[in-house]
Structure 1
Amino acid sequence: MTDTGAEKTTAGAFCALADWGTSNFRLWVVDRAGNVLGRRQSDEGLLTCADGRFAAVLESHLAALGASADLPVAITGMAGARTGWREAPYVETPAPLDALYRQAVTPEGVTRPVFILPGVCQRTTGPFDVMRGEETQLAGAVASGLADGIFCLPGTHSKWVELKGGRIAAFRTVMTGELFDLLSRHSILKHSIGDDLAFTADDRGFSDGVTEALAEGFALSAHLFSIRAAGLLGGDAPKPAARLSGMLIGAEIAATRTFLPQGMTVHLVGSARLTALYGRALEIAGTQSRLLDGEELVRKGLFAAASSLFQSSEVSR
């Protein structure tokens, strides 16, 4: 479904900015100061556009906003994946976030200037890893003055990123969200969890799970079955979904402690629900966190790239 409630006139537009995810599409038309003149959102992500509908989807949303035929567009996310509109090869770490635009690519057959930003990969600064889309949010953080720090972007595949001097120095991907889905829906734990997946960061089960995972000697594979056993044996067992989530997020934090120097604040970027869970888990771990607006960051990162792109000839076509 398309969100048209925030549409405005696009007279005086400088460019359009698009965040093209796996499941969702977001578009903003902005002026030369980066102010939003019009906005569109839909569920037309990569999964629904992989049959060659990228150009048609983009043009339909631009037309709905009254954008001119020559308005340039900067895109981040899965449109640049191998199975996307056109692959935008990864930039390797340490990756300067203010120079991603130099590796942008233009898809074939477009009638307006369209530029797709690259993702970032890791080959030498840690285990092999990739990201596509999160780097633009981090570029937005750099544009906002956060050139150094530790960032956590929770999701299906959470990202932990170390920024140094405006560069992605190193990062890790943790499959916590996917593991929660698999274990709660497709393992023996589903018999204890059932369909009741509603819980908050204040639930005792969540705090118990985090505390358990942060304890010395914890091993995830050796503790998971206790969730099932607690359900069978009765008693005052906490909500199983909350405890499972706490265990997984706690194990994630324990595994990424190399990213958490003493006294360092973790910048959280993500949905309100997930950042609340991660904020509580970090609190239990004795680490402070700060919440950042992910939508604002991706817009700022895209706008910074667009400002350079549309005044630069250093773009691969």
Structure 2
Amino acid sequence: MANPTVLSDVHPPRERERGSDFAELSRRMAEAGLLRRRPLYYTVRFGAVGLALAGGVAAFLTLGDSWSQLIVAAVMALVFGQLGLAAHDLAHRQVFSRRRASETGGLVVANVLLGMSYGWWMNKHTRHHANPNHEKKDPDVAPDILVWSRRQAKQAKGPARFIGKHQAALFFPLLTLEGLNLSFSSFKALLGPSVKRPALEGTLLVAHFAVYFGGLFLVLSPGRALAFLAVHQGLFGIYLGSVFAPNHKGMPMIEEGTELDFLRRQVLTSRNVDGGVFVDAFMGGLNYQIEHHLFPSMPTPALGKAQVITERYCAELGVPYCRTGLLASHCAALRHLREVGEPLRGGA
């Protein structure tokens, strides 16, 4: 690919029917039985996360006003990260086939347990899936605080212009605020059109934070409560960023007017992360990002086998397929952040 940063003049080869490349891949996945739901898997996985959450709450209440609570805060950051991954799978209807069951589960996990609006996040994430790494259409690469392309850097104003100069170095420190940012954005979204039932979602969000802050300041002294909050939310934000950033950051950006079919649009902008069972568990299956984007409702345990089929099929088509390790993926993302911020440091 001539330009590793921007896809502006890439066109798919002529096909017998538009979308036929993806149709053939979908047929192969169906024949392999990879599109079937896995209720036993999700029962075990969600049950384990639920037990971890209950254990964390029990430990918090047992320890009382102690600095040892910072260990609980760190563990609960991991639990919250797993809850975020559970909400993600529910939103994609990987768990339940029916919309109502998926939505109810999503509201419980996202709003009640995490303090994040399910409706707002689902709207945002759906737009990301439709146009990954598209400068104008993907909300995940909107130039808010960070810039994701040189074009955005040249047009940056306010905080994005200031932070963009050193955004690679500031990326992980900024992630410590991501958990709080999700909650702030959720409350803000209640006033907009993306949340269809603002009264219900708002009530659930208020209930979450009433219990969360009430528990912190009733059990802990103010200083320890604030320390718990900083450790918990900071590590939670870093965890989320470590799961989502490696998947697209540093992959080609799509400019307005670029024509790509569905398969190429998803594959060329996504990166898989290798690492075995540990990475699979840590990233909740999102390390198979290419397969997830091609088949969003595919259950997590099927993604590994789908990866083998997809990579071979892309080789048949001559479509580049990106796989790398976890550390290398983060290095690529940080390198991209530094490169696109060059115009703000006086570069070309």
- State the TM-score, normalizing by the size of structure 1: 0.30
More strand by share: 1
Instruction: Work out which structure has the larger RCO, using CA pairs closer than 8 Å and 6 or more positions apart in sequence.
Output: 2
- State the TM-score, normalizing by the size of structure 2: 0.28
